[in-house]
A and B are shown apart, each in its own frame.
Chain A
Amino acid sequence: MSYFFQLVVSGIVVGSIYALSALGFVLIYKSSRVLNIAHGQFIASGAFITYALTVWANIPIYISFPASMLATFFLAMSVERVFLRRLIGEPIISVIMVTIGLMSILDGLIYLTPFGAENFSFPPFLPTTPIGFAGVSISWTQLVGVVTTFSLIACFTWFFKKSTVGISMRAVSDDQLAAMSIGISVPRVFGLAWAMAGLSAAAAGGVIGNITGLNFDTLHAFGIVVFPVVILGGLDSILGAVVAGIIMGLIQQFASGYLDGHWGLSGTGEVMPYIVLLVILLFKPHGLFGIHEIERV
């Protein structure tokens, strides 16, 4: 039984990271209908900037973490300004391909730095003995990661519910023309959505980097794993991203905990989210919380 609870705990840890990664993804989709395939690269660059500031520049992590979030905030904003702003109104395939191109470019830029080839790990700044409770253990980094994730998600929720900027962003995602007519600058909202996504990507990168270590392949794989999560939750729902993130984390942990090693299976954790995704798409084509669009000729 404690094995089961151990899986639940690690599922929630993984799931909350998924939720945080998916959040940035949903932010961009919600406001500008762009599917950002380069999200994993933003996560990776956030993690690398945090590492560079903490270890190479010797800045304490509680300052370098927000600083890297600020850096990716501006990085994502300038990416939107330079590449995506021209493509407003172009067909979806062009926009998707531009983000694929961006992914390649960011990959290339990261390969230029030492992070492309080598593995790094953060110096431990928390107690290394895990917390044990009734046979279930969770390490301090994981605990702090989960707490950080949920407090960030709470901040984002507050931002969208209460602040003027957040409300104007929701207005744009609801109806661009109506938002324009009451004086909201739609391009600026697009830029801001990208910037916020960059910010949450850096946060996710920092948390992942602390838990699993810095390896470029693992980090940018998060940009792909996030797809099943956002589809399960519905592409345009923040609540959906959180719920689906946790569900996917649990599914993945249970799959690799109970299926691997039986019937000659291995690595099921990698593939299970996609199988679940396909099944869900057949029954609920717009995910759990996605808005069903009404189309007219």
Chain B
Amino acid sequence: MSANRWLATGNYFTSYREEQRIFFTSLDRTAMALFILGLFLWPFFIDVGNKYMLVIDNILIAVIAVMGLNLVTGFAGLISIGHAAFVGVGAYTIASFARVFGENHFLLSHAWPVMILAAGAMGAFFGAIVGLPALRLKHLYLAIATLSFQMIFEWTMKFMDFFNQGQTIAVGRVFWLTGEVSRSAHYIFWYYAILVLIVLVGFAVRNLLRTRYGRCLIAVRDNDRAADAMGMHPGLTKVYAFALAGFLAGVAGALHAYLYRGVGVESFTLHHSINYLAMAIVGGLGTLPGSFMGPLAIKMLDMQVEQLSEWASSHLAFAANLATALKPLSFGLVIVLFLMFEPRGIANWWRIARSYVKLWPFRY
């Protein structure tokens, strides 16, 4: 055990157990506890209004989805170009329940945590099915198999009457201990609900990566033949990685359905799949902090660009084309620049900054 329990300037591990801890110093633990506490408390002091609360809720939902994508693409190394479809599976689980039993059915409005879990289970089921080809396919062929799942999902939703042909299916308001969640409290209520889920899921993923099942994923990514020789089952691991990603995506989809009180296919298109991939990459593939920073960065960028293009289209008459062009241009530039100059994402900046502070005044 190191002498200084607040600041560790180096590795003093004497057992594997110590190396596997979640928090290395008590400072880490305190900082994390304060940070989470801050996330819960700030809405009491600052009123951001419903418009921005919706943006924040959106970012948090994207965090859950990207955490799933990061498990399958970042940790297990299986490229998924159909993640939005899994999110859609979760959302449509809620929607089809609402369509069959009515949008204000008791289970839907009172037992919403159960419904969210059920949507996650549905996502996991579809994830495992799409992961099945991974038993035989590798790399690009697998990526395209996920792409075709995305296309088939979009088609099914657009052309089946049961799913209202891709038009919005309404989902009712939910109840909490104090009664029905009112219109004004809707976004703040879901902020807390999603936040609690994120804290749970975040620690679950962090813990998963410490167990043999999580380390299995990384071993299969690095070399699946070698992992096979070490006694792991690469095929099963891949299917299970897809199922995990599908579960988190399904949960994110259910939250999306409840937050918007409706589900339409236009929120789960190929474009959104690409967006999730971009978030994972900008945040940092294969890192847990990256799953938080990526969605934050991309959604903030989106918001800024939207404001800029609104301003451009209202002030510059000739720039009507510019307004539509700005979004894809900036999005593409951000991805390309990150991949060319910082392929390890924002999480790497975070790592560098942390180690700088930790080791100060020494350089290394």
Q: Which residues of A line the B interface, CB within 8 A?
A: 35, 83, 86-87, 90, 92-94, 96-98, 100-109, 111-114, 116-117, 224, 227-228, 231, 235, 264-267, 270-271, 274-275, 277-278, 281-282, 285-286, 295-297
Contact = CB atoms under 8 A, between A and B. Distances in A.
B82 to A, nearest CB: 11
A105 B325 CA distance: 9
Contacts of A116: 321, 324-325
B275 to A, nearest CB: 10
A35 B143 contact: yes
A105 B340 contact: no
- Chain A interface helix/strand/loop/mixed: helix
A90 B152 contact: no
Interface in B2-37: none
Contacts of A235: 140-141
B35 to A, nearest CB: 30
A286 B141 contact: yes
Contacts of B137: 281, 285
B145 A97 contact: no
B182 interface: no
A120 to B, nearest CB: 15
A278 B333 contact: no
A266 B166 CA distance: 14
A91 B326 CA distance: 29
20 contacts: A87-B339, A98-B335, A98-B339, A100-B335, A101-B278, A101-B336, A104-B332, A104-B333, A108-B330, A108-B332, A111-B321, A111-B325, A112-B321, A117-B324, A227-B144, A231-B141, A277-B144, A278-B148, A281-B133, A285-B136
Contacts of B350: none
A264 B144 contact: no
B54 interface: no
A109 B325 contact: yes
Given A108-B332, A111-B321, A97 B151 contact: no
A286 B142 CA distance: 11
B139 to A, nearest CB: 6
B136 to A, nearest CB: 5
Given A90-B343, A112-B325, A281-B133, A104 B331 contact: yes
Nearest to A107: B328
A102 B147 contact: no
B143 to A, nearest CB: 7
Contacts of B330: 108
Contacts, number: 144
B316 interface: no
Nearest to B335: A101
**Interface residues of chain B: helix, strand, loop or mixed (majority):** helix
A274 B270 CA distance: 14
B83 to A, nearest CB: 13
B155 A107 contact: no
A231 B140 CA distance: 9
B79 A105 contact: no
A86 B340 CA distance: 7
A52 B4 CA distance: 71
Nearest to A276: B148
A28 B325 CA distance: 27
Contacts of B136: 281-282, 285
A27 to B, nearest CB: 15
Interface string B29-51: 00000000000000000000000
Q: Which one of A100, A102, A235, A296 has the highest number of Cβ atoms from chain B below 10 Å of its Cβ?
A: A100
Contacts of B203: none
A147 B152 CA distance: 33
Contacts of B326: 108
Among A104, A235, A264, A286, residue most surrounded by chain B Cβ atoms (within 10 Å): A104
Contacts of B325: 108-109, 111-112, 116
Contacts of A87: 339-340
A105 B328 contact: yes
Interface string B152-173: 1001101101000000000000
B160 to A, nearest CB: 8
A41 B321 CA distance: 18
B294 to A, nearest CB: 12
Given A101-B335, A228-B144, A235-B141, 20 more contacts: A83-B340, A87-B339, A92-B140, A93-B285, A97-B278, A98-B336, A100-B332, A101-B331, A101-B334, A101-B339, A108-B326, A108-B328, A108-B329, A114-B321, A264-B161, A271-B151, A271-B152, A277-B144, A281-B145, A295-B225
A25 to B, nearest CB: 11
Nearest to A103: B332
Nearest to B224: A295
A170 B23 CA distance: 53
Nearest to B226: A297
Nearest to A94: B339
